Structures are given as structure tokens and as C-alpha cells.
Amino acid sequence: MKKDIFNYFTTDNISGKKCTEKWLSKNNLELFNQIIDWCDRNSLKDLEFKRKVFHYVTDSTQIPVCLNCSKEVKYRRLRDGYQPYCSSLCQNSCSIAKDNWLQSWKKGNSNNEHIISRNKTVLEKYSNLEEYNKHIQNSIKETCLEKYGVEYATQTDFYKEKRKKTLKEKYGSETYNNPNKTKETRISNGTQINDDFIKNFLSYKKIATNRTMTMYRNNIQFINPNNLKRGIKSYHLDHKFSLKQGYLLGLPIEVITHPVNLEMIHYKDNLIKQDNCSITIQILLDNILKFEDDLYFTNNELMEKYKSVKEVSKQLLKNYTT
């Protein structure tokens, strides 16, 4: 990888404008020509410019395909490259995906450093993520107004005509509408989350949140030894290994809400972290095994219940280290 050029494109480039043909040809013609020449020599001249930038920076002459079915996959952005799968259906049915997920946790890679870094950069420029999102939405509107005279691309005559043509070809009617089919398609290509997933996760989160408060009250000396003030704009009670990742890995409630997984962090740090993890699954399980129950638990019944978690953690740790 050309690290210097990668840093050039990723520094102060939240909107991604540096990777556009218009911006780069105007602001760095020499680099622009280098990218064009390199892609032409490597049979990549037909790619859109953003993808050319990725291939040039990473010295990659091959266009990736789905790991499951070998179909074409979508390009994300310079930091992330291409999606490994063409749809969530392929990802869920592919054994490689499950193996890679497990191996990433065995190696201790949470794969979220770039997300945390991005959020930190955003909060240095904006007071909160909501303000940043509004800025992005306004930028999109301004670009669309400049290019097409409307705020959203879906309002253009070109989009409307293309949509009618596609509906006519696929379903025989320009006004075809099937909400259930639309939903199934969005779920299969990963743009919408399955209702059952949301329902089950919210149930898991509710139980875990209630249990977390119980654990905090009974282990406050361990979790908050400095008696930091809790509040929306002060300190938050946080799960080091996040609830979302705990649910995805199928971790028991007793594991994800164990005192060693709870900590007090400043609200700004929590905004940066969001659903990401500050520790790996191995560290969490190892810390549970080292935890001195008798020293911190103030509720004997709760202490006995959580002692059994150590046996569960031992088995889980074997799964992630063998």
C-alpha cells in the first residue's frame, strides 16, 4: 500500500471529496494523472474514479468478487475497500464468514479502530454526531441542487423514468408496489435489518440493561471507585465489550453484564465508542476468571449465581483460543 498517498486521501476528508475526479484534477493534477495512467496500464480504465483511487493506493489489479457466489460486490470507500459479499444472504450462508469472524476475535482484532478514529475526528469538529449528520445531509442536498436542481437524486426525472422502466421490465407495470417483496430484498442485500433480529436484540438489551444496573448497585466500589457523577453530559456506565457485539456472539447475559465488563467513561468518549468494543472477547473472559467474587460482591445470592459464570467463561475462552 502507498501509505503516504493513503494518508493524503483520508486526512481531513470526511465527505470523501478528495477521491472524486473533479476535486483531484483541480487540486492535484500530477497525482490525478498518475492514477489514470496506472489504471490504464492495468486494465482498470473503465472503473469509476473512486474505485481507481482505491486500486492505485492499494496496488491491487484484481477486482474482488463475492466470497460465496463469485458475483460482483459493491465498493464502499477507500478505508474499507469492497464488500466481501454481494448480500447478507451470501454472508450468512458462507462458512468463510463465520470462520473469519471467529478468527478475528481469536487474534484480538475488534475491527473497529477506524470507526472510533472517525467518530473522534467528527467530535473534534462538531459538538455531537447529530450535528455532523445534519452537515452531511445538507452537503448532499447542496450537491444535488447544484447538479440536478433538486434536493434528492430520487426527485430527478432521470431517476423516476429509470424506476418506471425497471418496474415495467421486472413486473409488467410502471406502478408496481409490493411492500413485502421490497422488505425481503432489502433484508437480503443488507440494507434493512430483519424484524426478528431487532425484536430479539431489544429483548436481550432490556434484560441486560436491568441486570447491569443490579450489578452496578452491588459492585459500585469496583466499577466506580472514584464515585464519578453519572449523567447525560458527565459520565456514563458503559459495557467494555458492547451489548450489540455480545448479542451477535450469543454471549450469556451474566457474561456481558459481569462487573469486569462495566466501567465509567466520559460521555464524549462514549459518543465516540458507540456500539464498538474497548476490549476483546478473550480479555473479557479472562478477566471474569480472575475476578475475586468474595471481595466485591455485596449480595451473597448474586455472588453465588455469578460464580457459575466462571465455568461458562472457561468453556467460551477455549472456543476463542483453540
State pLDDT tens for residues 37-63: 999 999 898 999 999 998 998 888 888
d(CA 166, CA 173): 9
d(CA 275, CA 261): 14
Q: What are phi and psi of 72, to 5 degrees?
A: -65, 140
The band of 101, judged by pLDDT with boundaries at 50, 70 and 90, is: very low
pLDDT digits (tens, 9 = 90+) for 245-285: 888 888 889 899 999 999 999 988 888 788 888 888 888 88
Q: Give the count of domains, the chain.
A: 3
Same domain, 272 and 170: no
Same domain, 20 and 55: yes
Last residue of a domain, one of 63, 83, 100: 63
Residue pair 216/273 in contact (Cβ under 8 Å)? The answer is no
Residue pair 20/13 in contact (Cβ under 8 Å)? The answer is no
d(CA 154, CA 152): 5
Same domain, 139 and 240: no
Which position has the higher pLDDT, 85 or 116? 85
- CB within 8 Å of 159: residues ≥ 6 apart: 153
pTM of the model: 0.51
Same domain, 206 and 316: yes
CA distances from 74 to 45, 82, 153 (A): 18, 6, 19
The 8-class DSSP code of residue 233 comes to: T
**Average pLDDT in the chain:** 79
The pLDDT value recorded for residue 320 is 65
Q: How many helices (H) and strands (E) does the chain have?
A: 19, 4
Residue pair 216/302 in contact (Cβ under 8 Å)? The answer is no
pLDDT digits (tens, 9 = 90+) for 6-28: 888 877 665 677 888 888 999 99
Which position has the higher pLDDT, 85 or 75? 75
pLDDT digits (tens, 9 = 90+) for 165-218: 888 888 888 888 877 777 777 666 556 667 777 888 889 999 999 999 998 998
Its domain, for residue 45, covers 1-63
